[in-house]
Amino acid sequence: MSKMCECVEKKIREEVREIMKPYKQEKDNLIQILNEIQEKYGYIPKAAQMEVSEYLGVPMAEIYGVITFYARFTLEPKGKYNVSVCLGTACFVKGSQAILDRLKERLKLEEGKTSEDGKFSIDTTRCVGACGIAPVFTVNDEVYGHATVKKLDEVLDELEKNEK
């Protein structure tokens, strides 16, 4: 392991210890702790998982199981712009699959992946609670309703323009 990696891992572990301070060393606190880590980093780094495992006395395999079970958690860093397409029933019936297909084509990424430059990532969700304006996609926390492939392209054009 390079010196840089050791340094980053050490920093993450120290920050996670700070996050966990208010929590008793009880397994019941696992999801709350993971949620705070997800909020801080945008994903749950392996070093954080190791620190949580040691603190709570929970095996790494169990922590991994919880992270992969809940869609809220992720093991991979997300892009600056996390674009998520709703595939819930209302959105799907109104054409969200075409929006997802265009998104993957345009960004040359698969679902769950992040671009090499770290700017974009693609996700899907089953429902964002905006069925009345279906289909929808989100960019970070902003919801775009009555979405079309054209609207997606316009939003992506604007985001790319802002990056230049």
pTM of the complete model: 0.72
Average of per-residue pLDDT across 64-72: 90
Burial class of residue 64, CB neighbours in 10 A (0-12, 13-18, 19+): middle
Q: What is the pLDDT of residue 76?
A: 85
End-to-end Cα, the chain, rounded Å: 35
Q: CA–CA separation, 83 vs 113, rounded Å?
A: 11
pLDDT of residue 2 exceeding 50: no
Q: Return contacts of 53-61, CB within 8 angstroms, 24+ apart.
A: 55/17, 55/20, 55/25, 56/25, 56/26, 56/27, 56/29, 56/30, 57/25, 57/27, 58/27, 58/30
Higher pLDDT, 67 or 1: 67
Return the number of other C-beta atoms located less than 10 Å from residue 34's C-beta.
Answer: 21
Q: Could you tell me which residues come within 8 angstroms of residue 42 by beta carbon, excluding any fewer than 6 positions away?
A: 74, 77, 78
Helices (H) and strands (E) in the chain, counts: 7, 4
Average of per-residue pLDDT across 54-77: 93
Task: Give me the domains of the chain, ranges plus CATH numbers.
Answer: 3-69 (no CATH), 81-163 (3.40.30.10)
Q: What is the pLDDT of residue 1?
A: 43
pLDDT of residue 125 exceeding 80: yes
Instruction: Please write the tens of the pLDDT for every residue from 18-36.
Output: 999 999 999 999 999 999 9
